[in-house]
Amino acid sequence: MWFSKSNFPVDGKCALIIGGSQGVGVDLAKKLYKNNCSIILVARNKLNLEKQVDSISNLVDQNSTKHNAKITYIPCDVSEYDNCLTLWKEITTRGYDPNIIFCCAGSSIPKLFQDLTPKDLSSGIDINYKTALNVIHAGFKHTQELNKTKLPKEWTKRHIILFSSVVSFFPFIGYGQYGPMKSAIQSLSLILRQELKPYNYRVSCVFPGNFQSEGFEEEQKTKPEITRKIEGPSNPISGEECANMIVDQLSKGYDTITTDFIGWFLGCSVLGMLPRQWSFFQVIMSFIISIIAPILNWSIENDISKSFEKK
């Protein structure tokens, strides 16, 4: 409920953050660590991870008796399944047992479909989908082995937070490398919510709009003009603001998380089986969108035709 703040307790918990060397993963780590949540940062770049751990650990007084959270890092390319098996074994060996799993890794290369390279296509699948799929599957199997003497309902409560994108609500030209994989994450969240609930898992899915990050800056270098036009003027929010909104909505018990009004509005057009936010208003907006959608599609297709004719 909008007035609740108790549905995402982090004090004394442990969070595994995939994609924790930059972007919103770092901002989430900072916020959780300051609230006494132990953090495990995972990414491919060891040097960046070391820098982030040093920076985050200095945010609190290490001598404080009220703060006993720990922070560590594990370099790992989680797009490779075997690496994920090793990752979970390493986590257990170090004495950690994550209650919260953030799958933040993602990378967009906005280009026209004809301009995408085979490497671009592969990275879209690896970074935007397999990083989440592999970690969750390997992690669940690992936890299943650790709890083989327990009934599913006796398992420790855990929370998976997957990161999709507003583009999965409204895929359009220029996002052929990115949008389909983020739609796959949305679909995966629905399936995991059904399959893992008996094992005491909560599954949430975040659909962020634009936020300031290294990745956002890289996107601007290849983004086609027609993509910019359809997307419209975009003033990205800070990564810190994005992290605050995500934690706030998780605390209120929402499992479909958007970070701006546009995201919420576009989400109304594809309600389907997704958990809802302000569902009464979403149903009304969905009806309105269904009426104006043909006009919007005509306008977009007209802009695309003019762009290609000009080119």
Active centre residues (catalytic): 164, 178, 182
- What region, left, alpha or beta, does residue 59 occupy, with left being phi > 0 and alpha being psi -120 to 50 degrees? alpha
Residue 217 to residue 107: CA distance in whole angstroms: 11
> In whole angstroms, what separates CA 103 from the centre of its chain?
5
Tokens representing 194 are 């059904």
* DSSP assigned state of 167: G
Which amino acid, one-letter code, is at 115?
A: D
Strand order from edge to edge, sheet including 100-103: 71-75, 38-43, 14-18, 100-103, 158-163, 201-207, 256-258
Q: How many residues in total does the chain contain?
A: 311
> Nearest-CA neighbor of 83 among 105, 100, 55, 99?
105
Tokens representing 239 are 């990564």
Residues 141/174, Cβ–Cβ less than 8 Å: no
Helix/strand/coil for 235 = coil
> Nearest-CA neighbor of 266 among 250, 277, 252, 251?
277
**Scanning the structure block, which residue is given the tokens 């901002």?**
27
